[in-house]
Amino acid sequence: HAFFDLGYVARPALEATTATRGWHPGYGLGVRLQTAIGRISATYALNPKVQSPADGRVHLGLSVGL
C-alpha cells in the first residue's frame, strides 16, 4: 500500500529552543502479510525535506489476536 501522512506541530519556546509551528508531510510504501503468528507489516516512510532516500525510516510491526 502507498500512503500520505500530514501532521501539525506546535512547540512552545523553551530555554534553549525557539517556538516552532507548522505542517509536516510524509509519504511511503508498505506491505502487510497475514501469517500463522499474526499480521506482519513493514513500512518505509520519507520526509519530503530529506536529501536522500537512505534517510527514510523503516517500521516493522507484528499484530497478534487472542
Mean pLDDT for 27-40 is: 95
- Structural domain including 9 reads 2-63
Percent of the chain with pLDDT over 90: 68
Tell me the β-bridge partners of 58.
44
Please provide the average confidence, as pLDDT, over all residues in the chain.
92
10 secondary structure, DSSP code: E
Domain count across the chain: 1
> What is the three-class DSSP state of 19?
coil
| Listed residue (22, 64, 66, 29) closest to 46, CA to CA | 29
pTM over 0.75: no
Residues 6+ apart with CB under 8 A from 33: 39, 40, 41
DSSP code for 50: -
